[in-house]
Amino acid sequence: MAVKRIKPNILSERFDESRAFYNDVIGLDGGDGLDWILFFGTDQPEVQLSVMKLDIKAHIHPDVSIEVDDVDACMNALKPLERTSSIHSPTKSGACAVSSCAIQTAR
């Protein structure tokens, strides 16, 4: 299994201020998204971040998104570890049919 991308997910309810900061001060493109998440970045796929509101369904905030080439291998490697739990099992969804899951680690 190889990591393809790591993207921070910044928790904020202040989307207008986030757009102003990441576009005008930092110089990132974007600021579009949905009512609960905004996407920022450049033409380089490794330069990305998201600003998102608290996930009211999961009641947790995913601090980071990590894209791997084999989500099933990742989940199998997770099974023997203690103090971790899967919040959402791997699913294929979205326009790109991307396999994804959410994992909560011990803090």
For residue 40, what pLDDT is reported? 97
Which of these, 107, 89, 88, 90, lies nearest to 99 by C-alpha position? 90
55 and 79 part of one domain: no
How many domains is the chain built from?
2
Q: What is the mean pLDDT of the chain?
A: 80
- Please tell me the least confidently modeled range out of 17-21, 41-45, 59-63: 59-63
- Regarding whether 88 and 53 lie in a shared domain, the answer is no
Look up the domain containing 4 and give its range: 1-68
- For residue 34, the domain's CATH number is 3.10.180.10
Please check whether residues 50 and 14 belong to one and the same domain: yes
* Identity at 98, one-letter amino acid code: V
Residues 68-72 have a mean pLDDT of 82
| pLDDT for the residue 64 | 84
pLDDT band at 27 (very low <50, low <70, confident <90, very high): very high
The token pair at 105 is: 């680690």
61, 33: one domain? yes
